[in-house]
Structure 1
Amino acid sequence: MAAANYFYALGRRKSATARVRLSNGKGNITVNAKPAAEYLADSKYFMHELMRPFTALEMENAKYDISVVVSGGGHNGQVEAIRLGIAKALALMNQDLKGTLRRADLLGRDPREKERKKFGLKGARKQRQFTKR
C-alpha cells in the first residue's frame, strides 16, 4: 500500500482515542492488529455502531479496509471514538458526504467527560453528610 492511498482521522470519546486509517480494499476492519469482531468480542451492538457511518451513507457494501489503533477508555468509549474517526475519514475522502454525516449526527464529538474529584469532597460532587446539631 502506497503512503498516499489512505485517509487518516482521529476520533475521541471520554478518555478513548482512536487513530483510523481508511483505504480502498476488501472490507477488512482491524482494531489494534486484531479483526474487529474478535476485538469487540463478537458484540452485534458494537459492530453495528462501527458500521453506522456506512449505513448513514447507504454504503454498507463498500469495500474499504479500515485499520484502527485505539487506546484508553472502556469498550463503549472506544467504539464511539472509532465511529467518529471513520466518519471523519469518510468526510476527508469525499467532501460531498460531509453534510449527510453531519445530519446523521456522526461528525460531532460528544463533549461529556468524567468530572474531576474536588478536594474536601468525597467525589466530583458528593459531600460529607450534613449534621444539623
Structure 2
Amino acid sequence: MLTSYHQKVIYSGTGRRKTSIARVNLIPGSGKLIINGLPGESYLQFSPNYLRISCSPINILGLGKEYDVYVNTKGGGLTGQADAIRLGLARALCNINSNNRIMLKSEGLLRRDARSKERKKYGLRKARKAPQYSKR
C-alpha cells in the first residue's frame, strides 16, 4: 500500500506469525528501526538474533541505510513479533519495486509461517498430553 504523508512516500506491509501482528511502514530516511515508539534494539532486548531476523529482508536487498522502518506490533512474544516484522518488511519492500520480490521470494521471506498453537482438547491436559494412566 502506498500513501503520501507530507510529501513523504510511505510503503506499508502487514506480517503475522502465531498470535503476533506487525504493521510495518517504510519511509525514505537514514535506516532507523522504531518498534512501538521505541528504538528497535531496545524493544528487541538487544538480542542480535531478533535484530538479524527482523531486518533480514532490508539487509538482503542492501537497502539498510535508505529507509526508516516504523513498526506497530502486538500480540505473542518477541520471537513471533520478530518473524511478523520480517514478513511485513518483506511485503513492504515488494511494494517499492517488483524486482525486489524475486530476490525475497528465493530467500523464502515472503512465505507466511502458518504454524500456531494447537487447541486444547477436553479430557486432556494440553493439546495432546493425556493424564497419567493407572492400571490399578
Deviation track 1:17-48 (CA, whole Å, cap 9, x = no partner) reads: 00000111111110000110111111111111
| Secondary structure, counterpart of 1:5 in structure 2 | strand
Alpha-carbon distance in structure 1 between the residues aligned to 2:9 and 2:39: 21
27-36 or 46-55: which moved more?
46-55
User: Are residue 55 (structure 1) and residue 54 (structure 2) matched?
Assistant: no
TM-score w.r.t. the length of structure 2 is: 0.90
Q: How far 1:56 moved relative to its partner?
A: 2.2
Gaps of 5+ in 1: none
Q: Paired residue for 2:85, among 82, 85, 95?
A: 82
Q: Percent identity?
A: 40
Alpha-carbon distance in structure 1 between the residues aligned to 2:19 and 2:64: 31
What does residue 9 of structure 1 align with? 13
Alpha-carbon distance in structure 1 between the residues aligned to 2:55 and 2:41: 12
Alpha-carbon distance in structure 2 between the residues aligned to 1:2 and 1:100: 31
What does residue 29 of structure 1 align with? 33
Structure 1 pair 67/61, CA: closer, same or farther in 2 (3 Å)?
closer
User: Are residue 43 (structure 1) and residue 61 (structure 2) matched?
Assistant: no
Alpha-carbon distance in structure 1 between the residues aligned to 2:104 and 2:135: 55
Q: How many residues align?
A: 132
TM superposition outliers: structure 1 runs of 4+ over 4 Å: none
